[in-house]
């Protein structure tokens, strides 16, 4: 049984752990697990564990930890994407693919033309999608879902980032980017960043880049830049 399961409580050096709620339901009822079955577990700490089922209850599954493996599947250099969130199911696509590409942190970006809010409920949904995508792609650390920031606050708090990139149609060529030790990327809303926002980023030393003659959706632009910078 090779499917991965996320444990909410840190496992550390504990001899046993417990799956609860949807993870336990999936293992017990969907996977029809039996006592003695072994599964792969992760808790977001960077380690991967083999757990052997020792008890199956109505809403919990207990497991004995039989092996620990420090498996690192993260990017060599941190990559942060600050994105003005799209509406509806497009957020799920955005998060799923950013997790697969190895992005370190996603910051919901509040701009003058943003249309979707990073409410506590929305952030909780995004985190759940991070967990599901991590289970599928094999990451043992969760992509961080940060608190929303305005563009001005993002500019202030990323002064030490080695590469800061803002996507805008009037920017330079993507080929001019030189990935470095850390990168922060800003993607605006459907209506784009305002001239004042672009000017503020440029004045602070951000690279302004364009994608060519075609207008991309938010998630497409975010994934394109993430894929480019994930090669570092």
pLDDT digits (tens, 9 = 90+) for 31-85: 899 999 999 999 999 999 999 999 999 889 999 999 999 898 999 999 999 999 9
Lowest mean pLDDT among 3-12, 145-154, 158-167, 196-205: 158-167
- 0.75 exceeded by pTM: yes
CB–CB of 226/98 below 8 Å?
yes
Q: How many CB atoms lie under 10 A from the CB of residue 34?
A: 10
pLDDT above 80 for 175: no
Give the sheet arrangement for strand 38-42, strand by strand.
Answer: 4-6, 38-42, 48-56, 60-69, 16-20
What whole-number distance in Å separates Cα of residue 89 and Cα of residue 84? Answer: 14
Domain residue ranges in the chain:
4-69, 79-229
The correct answer on CATH 2.20.25.10 for the domain covering 4-69 is no
CATH code at 79-229: 3.40.1280.10
Q: Which two tokens stand for residue 139?
A: 């990451």
């Amino acid at each position: 049984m090779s499917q991965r399961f996320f444990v909410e409580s840190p496992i550390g050096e504990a001899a046993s752990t417990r799956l609860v709620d949807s993870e336990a339901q999936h293992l017990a009822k969907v996977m029809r697990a039996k006592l003695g079955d072994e599964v792969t577990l992760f808790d977001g700490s960077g380690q991967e564990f083999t757990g052997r089922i020792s008890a199956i209850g109505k809403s919990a599954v207990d497991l004995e930890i039989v092996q620990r493996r420090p498996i690192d599947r993260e990017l060599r250099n941190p990559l942060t994407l600050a994105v003005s969130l799209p509406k509806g199911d497009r957020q799920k696509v955005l998060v799923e693919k950013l997790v697969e590409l190895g992005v370190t942190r996603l910051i919901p970006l509040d701009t003058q033309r943003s249309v979707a809010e990073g409410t506590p409920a929305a952030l909780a949904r995004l985190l759940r999608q991070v967990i599901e995508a991590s289970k599928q792609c094999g990451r043992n650390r969760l992509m961080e879902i940060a608190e929303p920031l305005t563009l001005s606050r993002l500019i202030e708090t990323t002064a030490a980032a080695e590469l800061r990139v803002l996507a805008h149609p009037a920017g330079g060529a993507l080929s001019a980017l030189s990935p470095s030790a850390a990168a922060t990327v800003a993607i605006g809303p459907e209506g784009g960043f305002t001239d004042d926002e672009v000017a503020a980023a440029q004045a602070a030393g951000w690279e302004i880049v364009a994608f060519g003659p075609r207008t991309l959706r938010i998630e497409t632009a975010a994934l394109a830049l993430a894929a480019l910078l994930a090669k570092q």
